[in-house]
A and B are shown apart, each in its own frame.
Chain A
Amino acid sequence: MKVNVHFDSQVRRIAGCRTVSLDVDQDTSLIEVIKRVGNSGTVGLRSTLMDEDDSVRPSILIFLNNELVAKEQQCVLHEGAELTLTTLISGG
């Protein structure tokens, strides 16, 4: 199935693109998708998204279909899911 992963703010700058479309297995978890994005080989992306212990950094905001998802939430994605990875911004 296809899911779209969007990058906002500084995550986008590090990812180097706005969106990637991924083909993933049915019932792939949200965390698995984030790890796959982090391991895509883009310099700096993995360390931006993940801690040394392979968990999502607390400063990363995960929106699934425009709703914030808690990092500890076990969440399975469905066909056409729209995932956004971003952080708070602070420009004033």
Chain B
Amino acid sequence: MSGSSFSSDMENDFPTLDAMELATYQWQMWADGIGELGQRKLKAATVLISRIGGVGGTVAYQLAAAGIGKLILVHAGEIKPSDLNRQLLMTHDRIGQSRVETAQARLLALNPRLILELHNENINATNAHALIMGADVVVDCAPLFEERFEMNRAIVRQCKPMVECAMYEYEGSLTTILPGVSPCLACLSPVAPTAWRREFPVFGAVAGTVACLAAMEVIKLITGVGEILSGTMLTMDLANMSFAKRKIHRNPNCSVCKGSGSG
């Protein structure tokens, strides 16, 4: 479906762009449906990204490049050597130091106007609701299903759109959850797969591919251009470059979103 949380065309609802912003985003404002108003919508938006690893870090970088106004970054811990094959915001000289602080330096080097809110913690049952309260759009890039299910519960409660993106080995998947409209994560699977393990095979190029597609979902949600993956799961297998758009449906008995919205 098309549509946006930011679909107001009242120009006064969105901050103006200064001369540097007009120069920086000139080429993307030429894209059909964006223009200066679309860029101002991006500037007005706050996006929360859960984990800034191989997927989330590249989502953050692409959104910073696109001129998103504010990012809320949620990721605990310090950089390890095994992060560096895919977590492009992290650098070798920062091993042992905070991931979110390292990301801050990298993102501000790209976009010094970006407003950042850093949380050196992961999403859990205690903090999910409050963290998501401050966001217009949420991007779920967590490696643990417990975190993904907490995010899912919180966005359904608050009726916030969430871009749900994940990868495994050479595969990726992506869908956009509009609570009450399209299936939530628990509609698809009420429990974590029995075989899932915290450590998984991953190439940075696979994580980055999924991340760039997820960033485009965010940009479309905010600007209202194009069609988002609501009620559709995009799956990809980069081992043989096969892509599929699969129809997904709400579960009328879903323990999380039953009774919300339509359908």
Q: CA of A10 to CA of B233 in the docked complex: distance in angstroms?
A: 17
Tell me, yes or no, whether B166 is within 8 Å of chain A by CB.
Answer: yes
Task: For A92, give its contact among B143, B189, B190 (CB under 8 Å).
Answer: B143
A48–B248 touching, CB < 8 Å: no
Residues in B with CB closer than 8 Å to A9 are: 168-169, 171
Q: Considering the complex, which residues of chain A in the window 71-88 have a beta carbon less than 8 Å from any beta carbon of chain B?
A: 84, 87-88
Selected from B54, B168, B246, the residue in CB contact (under 8 A) with A89 is B168
In angstroms, Cα B166 to Cα A61, docked, is 15
What is the distance, in angstroms, from B87's C-beta to the closest C-beta of chain A?
10
Q: Is the CB of B189 within 8 A of A88?
A: yes
Also in contact, A90 and B142, with CB within 8 A (given A59-B193, A68-B246):
yes
**B14 close to chain A: CB less than 8 A:** no
Q: Is A67 touching B171 in the complex (CB atoms < 8 A)?
A: no
Q: Using Cβ atoms and an 8 Å threshold, which residues of chain A touch B36?
A: none
- Which DSSP category, helix, strand, loop or mixed, fits chain B's interface? mixed
* Contact yes or no, B196 A58, CB < 8 A: no
**Structural contact, B192 and A59, CB atoms closer than 8 A:** yes
- The residues of A that contact B165 with a CB separation of less than 8 Å are 92
What mask results when residues 3 to 22 of chain A are scored 1 for a CB within 8 Å of chain B, else 0?
Answer: 00000111101100000000
Q: How would you classify the secondary structure of chain A's contact residues: helix, strand, loop or mixed?
A: mixed
Q: By the criterion CB–CB under 8 Å, are B185 and A88 in contact?
A: yes
Contact in complex: B192, A92 (CB < 8 Å): no
Q: Interface range on chain B: under 10, 10 to 19, 20 to 34, or 35 or more?
A: 35 or more
In the complex, which residues of chain A have a beta carbon less than 8 angstroms from the beta carbon of B143? 90-92
- Which residues of B lie under 8 Å from residue A90 when comparing CB positions? 142-145, 148, 166, 168, 192, 196, 200
Report whether B171 and A8 are in contact in the complex, using a CB–CB cutoff of 8 Å. yes
Q: Quote the shortest CB–CB distance from A86 to chain B (angstroms).
A: 8
Known: A90-B143, A92-B56. A58 touches B188 (CB 8 A): no
Interface flag for B70 (CB, 8 Å): no
Instruction: Please pick, from A8, A48, A70, A84, the residue contacting B251 in the complex, using a CB distance under 8 A.
Output: A70
Residues from 206 to 256 in B contacting A, C-beta threshold 8 Å: 207, 233, 235, 237, 244-249, 251
A67 and B55 contacting across the interface, CB-CB below 8 Å: no
- Chain B positions within 8 Å of A8 at CB level: 171, 235, 237
Residues of B near any A CB (own CB < 8 A) = 50-51, 53-56, 140-145, 148, 165-169, 171-173, 185, 188-196, 200, 202, 207, 233, 235, 237, 244-249, 251
- The 8 A-B residue pairs with the shortest CB-CB distance, nearest first, are A87-B193, A92-B141, A89-B168, A59-B193, A67-B247, A10-B195, A91-B167, A92-B55
Would you list 27 pairs from A and B whose C-beta atoms are within 8 A, ordered by A residue? A8-B171, A9-B168, A9-B169, A48-B194, A48-B195, A57-B194, A58-B189, A58-B191, A61-B189, A66-B245, A67-B247, A68-B248, A70-B251, A87-B193, A89-B166, A90-B148, A90-B168, A90-B192, A91-B143, A91-B200, A91-B202, A92-B53, A92-B55, A92-B56, A92-B141, A92-B142, A92-B167
